[in-house]
Amino acid sequence: DAGITQSPRHKVTETGTPVTLRCHQTENHRYMYWYRQDPGHGLRLIHYSYGVKDTDKGEVSDGYSVSRSKTEDFLLTLESATSSQTSVYFCAISEEAYGYTFGSGTRLTVV
Amino acid sequence: GNSVTQMEGPVTLSEEAFLTINCTYTATGYPSLFWYVQYPGEGLQLLLKATKADDKGSNKGFEATYRKETTSFHLEKGSVQVSDSAVYFCALKRGSGSARQLTFGSGTQLTVLP
């Protein structure tokens, strides 16, 4: 496998609580990304990172923050979860090659 | 900005039928184009890619040709199998360095019946 793991795989949380999703890679790739997948929208970029402590916003970044203190870990935090953040979240990594490698996803339900 | 438009699904075919999933894009310059496939409960996997005009990407019997004149990258397969049932995403990449991001279409669900 490509050496990218997401945790947890499934999570149910209550509205207003903080949630952190973790993406871990063993490939030493420079670029890491967080996407959310929703019916009818495909995948939309939340945040991405181009190096340790170097991150930037994607098209749907409101309500999310990220951190990358080590090359191998990219954390996505929902400071105060809302029902609109119920989704499947995918992490991806890439290096100089054109394609991405995706994790298996985290299914998050906010009730 | 960049955008990708895919034909809406779901698409249901019988085994051995011919498959076409349409994809058109809007982007400045010369993006790289991709097809990704997502099997149930899994992440996306790269199916094929093309990096310049007139390139043909191919893999596992699937093909797509980068047509700059029509800004299209349609996915085709001559004879689908039940195991091809999945969601297919067209995507483009523009930029380099810190701007290297994929933009996805909304996905097309394909179901192949035996």
Examine the pLDDT at A99 and tell me if it is beyond 80. no
A2 compared with A107, residue with greater pLDDT: A107
- What percent of chain A is modeled with pLDDT above 70? 95
Which band of pLDDT confidence, cut at 50, 70 and 90, is reported for residue B68? very high
Taking CA–CA distances from A94, the nearest residue in chain B reads B100
Instruction: Give A75→chain B minimum CA distance, Å.
Output: 18
CA distances from A31 to A66, A78, B28, B65, B88 (A): 13, 21, 23, 27, 23
Residues of A in Cβ contact (< 8 Å) with B102: 33, 43, 45, 92, 100
Confidence of residue B95 (pLDDT cuts 50, 70, 90): low
Of B42, B49, B105, which has the smallest distance from its Cβ to A42's Cβ?
B105
pLDDT greater than 70 at residue B30: yes
What residues of chain A lie within 8 A of the CB of B100, using their CB?
A: 31, 94
Q: Which residue of A has its CA nearest to B89?
A: A42
User: Is the per-residue pLDDT at B110 higher than 70?
Assistant: yes
Q: For residues A75-91, give the mean pLDDT.
A: 97
> What is the nearest CA distance from A15 to chain B, expressed in angstroms?
25
Neighbours of B21 (CB within 10 A): 23
Q: What mean pLDDT do residues B77-88 have?
A: 97
What dihedral do alpha carbons B60, A99, B3, B47 form, nearest 10°? 10
Residue B9 banded pLDDT, cuts 50, 70, 90: confident
> Is 70 exceeded by the pLDDT of residue A2?
no
Question: Does residue A95 surpass a pLDDT of 90?
Answer: no
- Tens of pLDDT, residues A23-82: 999 988 989 999 999 988 889 999 999 899 999 999 899 999 999 999 999 999 999 999
Distance CA A60, CA A43 (A): 10
Residue B100 has pLDDT above 70, yes or no: no
Reported as half-sphere exposure (CB side, CA atoms, 13 A), residue B105 has a value of 30
Average pLDDT over residues A3-17: 96
- By three-state DSSP, how is residue A30 classified? coil
Closest approach of A71 to chain B, Cα-based (Å): 15
Q: A105 vs B45: CB contact, 8 Å cut-off? A: no
Check residues B2 and A68 and name the one with the higher pLDDT. Answer: A68
Q: What element of type H or E holds A34? A: strand A31-38
Q: Which of B41, B46, B89 sits opposite A99 (nearest CB)?
A: B46
Among candidates A31, A40, A99 on the partner chain, residue whose Cβ is nearest the Cβ of B34: A99
B73, B55 contact by CB (below 8 A): no
B95 CB neighbours in chain A (<8 A) are: none
Kindly indicate the confidence band of residue A13, based on its pLDDT and cuts at 50, 70 and 90: very high
| Contacting residues of B for A33, CB less than 8 Å apart | 101-102
